[in-house]
Amino acid sequence: MGVLTLFATGKQLTAIKFGDCRPVDFPGQPCQVVDEACRQLDSYFSGRLTAFDLPLLPAGTPFQKKVWHELLGIAYAHTISYKQLALALGGANLARAVGLANGQNPLPIVVPCHRVIGADGAMTGFAGGLNVKRWLLAHEQRTAGMVLF
């Protein structure tokens, strides 16, 4: 996976970025929500957590937030297509807009945009790269039967 950098308001997680995104001179302050997010991410990567329970505050348009909220309903180790997601939000004609909103998800992994794939099963865009998306989906498939809580 590499490095993930987490951002928060102090009480809510606002973004997860792939790579070390902190300015070099930024000292970093202890943050309870970031600490909890790190604990939950560690549990997820260890195969012990299937759903995150964190206070989230993603910045986006009302439509983007609606899409991201819908992503939270995709079950662990399952995938849906952009078309299925668009249908859930009101119609197949929204597929392109859904895809764009999915690509702008500021909280990847926690808000599982990696679980959205092409209608033909093809892997399509992901902020962390397609290799990371494949790894996340394979990880969930591999660990789905061993989740402890």
Q: Which residue has the tokens 């952009």?
A: 82
Which is it for strands 4-8 and 13-18: parallel, antiparallel or unpaired?
Answer: antiparallel
In a 13 Å sphere around the CA of 69, the CA atoms on its Cβ side amount to 11
For 38-42, the CB contacts below 8 A with 24+ separation are 38/6, 40/110, 41/4, 41/109, 41/110
Among residues 21, 31, 38, 113, the one annotated as catalytic is 113
Residue 106, judged by CB atoms within 10 A of its CB (0-12, 13-18, 19+), counts as buried
Asked if 38 is an active-site residue, the reply is no
Provide the annotated active-site residues. 113
